Amino acid sequence: MFVPRCLARGLSSFSTHVSVRNAGHSKWANIRHIKGEKDLEKSKLITFTLQRIRTAIQEGGSANPDHNIHLAQIIEVAKKKNVPIATIQSCLKNAQADKSNPKILWFEIRGPRNCFLIAQALCEHPKKSKDMMSSIIRRNGVQWADNVGKSMFEQKGIIVATVPEGSTGDPMEKAVDDAIECGAEEVEPTDQTGELVFFCSLQDMNIVRTKLESKNYKVISAEFEFIPKMTVALNDQETEVMAKLMNKIDEHPDVVKVYTNIE
């Protein structure tokens, strides 16, 4: 069964307790980056990078990464995915020149057993985008959950890193000690050997990242994500319904990310 976070909230300095989860209870698994960015062909990756840069500019209100932490993190992720600097700069220039004034929408959806799914979309035509999502919802037996779904999640800094080279002993035991020293709230393994996810507050993410790097962790990505406060277990039939729904949402051209609270 999923165990909710039991830490004190809002820690801005060293914590004396860090929550640890095993891969079977992973919060990391609830984060779904739409468009399968890990497997994208180069041309599609560039298009997706532009979409995320535009989204970050809307979220942070600035096209200057020095003044927009959301944008700075997206650029860092793009670099780690080997998107050329010239391409990133071109994406920034195109986003700044874009006069369409796209809007960020959140689609909040309720599924079986009161599970929730929230989807972030960047829309040039919000009504058309929502009409498309309404059609998906009607055809898949779920409901709108406006002003409810998003409240079931909390936004956190998520740092994915590999364990230091040459580490001996239990890597999780060391990771917990390091998380305490660096100011992280939680740590858990991913499904990749030697890879860990550190959870922290938004305002502490850059500090935690810098301290982890000083301990020779290789940071793969550092982003803001929405994490479910509690998760819901579904039976096989219900899981199939939600899997079909998410596949349809994948096809929505405006959707950037999807989060669920499904175990």
Residue 132 and residue 245 in one domain: yes
Residue 44 domain-assigned (yes or no): yes
CB atoms within 10 A of CB 63: 17
The answer to whether 199 and 182 have CB atoms below 8 angstroms apart is no
Phi-psi region of 38 (alpha: psi -120 to 50; beta: other; left: phi over 0): alpha
Task: Give the count of alpha carbons within 13 A of 49, CB side only.
Answer: 31
Compute the distance between CA of residue 173 and CA of residue 113 in angstroms, rounded to an integer.
36
Please measure the distance between the N-terminal and C-terminal CA atoms of the chain and give it in whole angstroms. Answer: 9
Residue 178 domain-assigned (yes or no): yes
In the prediction, which pLDDT does 72 show?
A: 86
In the prediction, which pLDDT does 167 show?
A: 79
**Please, what sign has the CA dihedral across residues 29, 25, 56, 243?**
positive
In the prediction, which pLDDT does 96 show?
A: 78
Residue 170 domain-assigned (yes or no): yes
Residue 49 and residue 62 in one domain: yes
Q: Which helix (H) or strand (E) holds 110?
A: strand 103-110
In the prediction, which pLDDT does 68 show?
A: 84
The residue range of the domain holding 130 is 104-142+231-260
Residue 222 domain-assigned (yes or no): yes
Which value, in Å, is the radius of gyration of the alpha carbons in the chain? 19
In the prediction, which pLDDT does 170 show?
A: 83
Residue 120 and residue 237 in one domain: yes
Residue 1 domain-assigned (yes or no): no
- pLDDT tens profile 147-163: 999 999 999 999 999 99
One-letter amino acid for residue 97 of the chain: A
- From residue 230, alpha-carbon distances to 6, 14, 83, 153, 247 in Å are 12, 25, 35, 8, 23
CATH of the domain at 212: 3.30.70.980
Compute the distance between CA of residue 40 and CA of residue 167 in angstroms, rounded to an integer.
32
In the prediction, which pLDDT does 229 show?
A: 92
Residue 158's nearest CA partner among 226, 217, 260 is: 226
Task: Strand 153-162: give its sheet, edge to edge.
Answer: 19-20, 186-189, 195-200, 153-162, 218-228
Residue 55 and residue 93 in one domain: yes
Residue 205's nearest CA partner among 188, 229, 185, 177 is: 185
Residue 3 domain-assigned (yes or no): no
Compute the distance between CA of residue 113 and CA of residue 144 in angstroms, rounded to an integer.
14
Compute the distance between CA of residue 122 and CA of residue 157 in angstroms, rounded to an integer.
21
Q: What's the average pLDDT block by block, 10 residues per block, for the chain (263 residues)?
A: 26 37 54 51 70 82 82 83 85 79 91 95 92 96 95 93 86 92 94 90 91 93 88 94 92 90 91
CATH of the domain at 45: 1.10.10
In the prediction, which pLDDT does 47 show?
A: 75
In the prediction, which pLDDT does 6 show?
A: 26
Residue 157 domain-assigned (yes or no): yes
State how many domains the chain has: 3
Residue 171 and residue 122 in one domain: no
Q: Token pair for residue 13?
A: 């300095």
The answer to whether 186 and 18 have CB atoms below 8 angstroms apart is yes
Task: Strand 31-33: give its sheet, edge to edge.
Answer: 31-33, 255-260, 116-123, 103-110, 143-144
- pLDDT tens profile 26-84: 666 666 555 444 445 566 667 777 788 888 888 788 888 888 887 888 888 788 778 88
For 138, residues 6+ apart whose C-beta sits below 8 A from its C-beta are none
Give the ranges where 8-124 is alpha helix by DSSP (H): 42-60, 69-80, 85-97
Residue 121 domain-assigned (yes or no): yes
Residue 160 and residue 212 in one domain: yes
